[in-house]
Structure 1
Amino acid sequence: MKPRVNRVIGEEDAARNERPFIVFLHIHKCAGLSFKRILRRQFGPSFGKRIVNRMHGVRPKPLRAALADVKGSQVYFAGHFGYGVHELLPSPVRYVTFLRDPVQRLLSLYDYSKRTPQSFYHSHATNVSFEEFVSNGDVFETDNGMTRFLIGDLARTDYYICRKPIGSLTEVDLQLAIENLERHFVTPGITERFDESLVAISDDLALPCACYLRLNESQLASQTKSSWNGKLEPFVSLDRRLFEWANRKLDEAKISQPSFEAKVEDFKLSNARHQRRYQGYYDAYQSFMNRLRS
């Protein structure tokens, strides 16, 4: 899969110089669309501009072109790419990312790829079982993909995923991913703990905790893992440990703030009101955008 980005220009103000440049590393099927929508609400582009861009067929630029086009007023950069893009962006940089239970992530990736003709992995998922999709040896992302994204493109050729041969990642690679998380990322987000994650990330970045509507949720995510074949365990073994480590970091963020639980509960109440108020409008918007795509 080629790296995809959503380049966004924010409002130019003094606050830009008081906080780090935000890089959202969107790992597939890890609540990324929900978080990107939160970024858009805070920093733009506006709803109207997105509609106009879509109607005029404006498409995201290739990654390197988008990186080269970053302007002083831009406050964040988001998309599907690997660790390392900060080397081409304004300093200081703080990465944001979300991780997910690795088996559920693969189930969701398979489900989305199979039922979505325009998805990059559609041909890989069509007419094959889930086990075949994971183990076919053609998709780097199904072999400890979260670890690979957080290692990044070591050769810096396209700033996407680590392309070490499938099955070759080791403890050294896992530790490199963790080291990158510790050095350049805010508290890692956990898809299954989305509200807690938003509170922790917002605190780290000194941003308000913006409300959201959940997007792009796969029905497969609600299924049990009974279809998981133990023979596939090597494809998630490092990602499991990475996911456990990230959960511990989020726990540490909770413990370090006596008011954390109260913040989360207040946010949940606010977000419930937001969902009741805007879900209908969003459904109408999604329907309109789907018609534009067809």
Structure 2
Amino acid sequence: MIHSSLPRLYFLHIPKTSGTAFGGWLRRLYDVEKSFPWYDYHQLSGHTLEEMQGFDLYAGHFGRALPDLLDHPVETVTFLRDPLERLASLIHYTLYEVKLDPENKHGKELQAIRESSHPFEGMAEAAPHVPEFQNGQTHELTKTWPLRRYLNSDNQLDLNLATFRDECETPTAGQQLDVAISFLDTLSAVGICEQSQTSLEQFCRVLDLPLENPLQLERTTQGRKGGAWQQDYWFQRLNPDLKRKLETLIELDRELYQHALTRFETEQRAMTKTISLPPE
């Protein structure tokens, strides 16, 4: 079980927000403690709800329904990222997947990106067919995952993430944003990818985690071959009309991100006032 002084922690991993790097930092931190079970980032499949009641740390994709299904209180945190940068990262990753899979077996909806001379133009055409690119952050926060519906006869969580998303109720745009903001406000802490070190320090204070040797988070694409540079190059080539078109695809994400920035900065100012420094 987790160290007695630390809370149970559930980290909502929103793709392409430095969540993998943050999860890796958590794993390294707790591996040193040797005191928690580590579970897969991307699936709940194979675990019973009873087993999940015993998870001290969970890093993965879940919705606002999950904490309510647990018999114990948990601290929930997440990372957000500037939506346009996240869009670039998603496109870059999609192109990387397409390169690994020339026949594009994982979805015809990516064909527009694959055949486009300019990846952002392809994205603008493909976006209506790719759920990951449609207000992805608000979708990740608002989706309700009614886990009890997916328990099989052996009480196992046997589910397919794509089916899960399709079967979840899809709120209207305005409702989606309202629900996302209300859920965001229930989280113990919200990290900002562009302020990752400050976010880590905030998480450590809010969650009473040790501060020794914090990992400096890097942007999720910097480890890939030319990823960060390639994104900058794409941005420089954007014409104003295309940029405006892309911005409309992430309107809800932009509003959610601005709300998170305001909250994050407010919390930082409050912490600055309340944290007492040791005497010299």
TM-score w.r.t. structure 1 length?
0.67
The answer to whether the 8 Å contact 2:9/2:56 transfers is yes
Indicate the residue corresponding to 1:189 in structure 2: 191
Task: Provide the alpha-carbon RMSD of the alignment.
Answer: 3.7
1:78 aligned counterpart, secondary structure: strand
Aligned to 1:173: 176
Q: How far did residue 255 of structure 1 move?
A: 0.8
Q: Which residue in 2 is equivalent to 1:271?
A: none
Taking the aligned partners of 2:169 and 2:233, their CA distance within structure 1 comes to: 31
Whether contact under 8 Å (1:152, 1:161) holds in the other structure is: yes
1:163-216: per-residue Cα shift (whole Å, max 9, x none)?
666xx7422221110101112x12211111111111111111111235215354
Give the whole-Å Cα distance in 2 for the aligned partners of 1:195 and 1:120. 38
Q: Which residue, out of 5, 15, 27, partners 1:15? A: 5
1:248 aligned to 2:254? Answer: no
Are positions 1:83 and 2:64 aligned together?
yes
Task: Assess, with a 3 A threshold, how the Cα gap between structure 1 residues 200 and 153 changes in structure 2: closer, same or farther.
Answer: same
- In structure 2, the residue matched to 1:126 is 114
Q: Which has the higher contact order (CA 8 A, sep 6+)?
A: 2
> Alignment identity in percent?
26
Equivalent residues, number: 238
Is the Cα contact below 8 Å between 1:113 and 1:121 reproduced in 2?
no
Equivalent position SS for 2:129: coil
Look up the match of 2:94. Answer: 113
What's the counterpart of residue 283 of structure 1?
Answer: none
Q: Structure 2 unaligned segments of length 5 or more: list them.
A: 150-158
Distance 1:67 1:120 in 2: 31
Question: How far is the alpha carbon of 1:60 from its aligned partner?
Answer: 7.1
Partner in structure 2 of residue 147 of structure 1: 138
Residue 104 of structure 1: how far off its partner (Å): 0.7
Change (3 A) 1:89 1:120: farther
The C-alpha deviation readout for 1:71-98, integer Å capped at 9, x for no partner, is: 63x3210123443322344520221111
Q: Are the counterparts in 2 of residues 25 and 83 from structure 1 also a CA contact under 8 Å?
A: no
In structure 1, stretches of 5+ residues that fail to align are 1-10, 48-52, 264-294
> Secondary structure, in 3 states, of the residue corresponding to 2:189?
coil
Tell me the equivalent position of 1:42. Answer: 29
| Structure 2 counterpart of 1:231, from 237, 242, 245 | 245
Aligned mates of 1:91, 1:235 — CA distance in 2: 38
CA contact (8 A) 1:83 1:150 kept: yes
Change (3 A) 1:247 1:88: same
CA contact (8 A) 2:81 2:194 kept: yes
